[in-house]
């Protein structure tokens, strides 16, 4: 099962994620901010208050599957 081991905010809605398979990817989440679950995260103060529990989540209930992040990220 693919999980996220570490995540860092790089600015401008971009996260650097280290996955359980050892691969690190940079992911721009700007495209997701148009969807209702992510709309309030357009406020960067809220966006940067994410948590990590095998995936990334926010206090408003939004979360993102590790598989999505893996598929849409750029390997670093």
The superfamily (CATH) of domain 4-75 is NE0471-like N-terminal domain (3.30.2020.10)
Q: What pLDDT, in 10s, does the model give residues 13-58?
A: 999 999 999 999 999 999 999 999 999 999 999 999 999 999 999 9
Cβ atoms of 17 and 73 closer than 8 Å: yes
If residue 71 lies in a helix (H) or strand (E), which one and from where to where?
helix 66-72
Residue count of the chain, please give it: 76
- Domain locations in the chain? 4-75
Residue 65: pLDDT band with limits 50, 70, 90: very high
pTM for the whole structure: 0.92
**d(C-alpha 53, C-alpha 43), whole Å:** 22
Q: Give every CB contact of residue 38 below 8 A, 6+ residues apart in sequence.
A: 29, 32, 62
């Amino acid at each position: 099962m693919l999980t996220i081991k570490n995540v860092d905010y790089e600015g401008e809605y971009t996260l650097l994620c280290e996955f359980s398979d050892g691969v690190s990817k940079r992911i721009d989440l700007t495209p997701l901010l148009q969807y209702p679950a992510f709309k309030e995260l357009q406020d960067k103060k809220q966006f940067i208050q994410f948590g990590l529990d095998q995936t990334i989540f926010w206090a408003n209930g939004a979360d993102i599957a590790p598989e999505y992040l893996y598929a849409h990220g750029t390997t670093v």
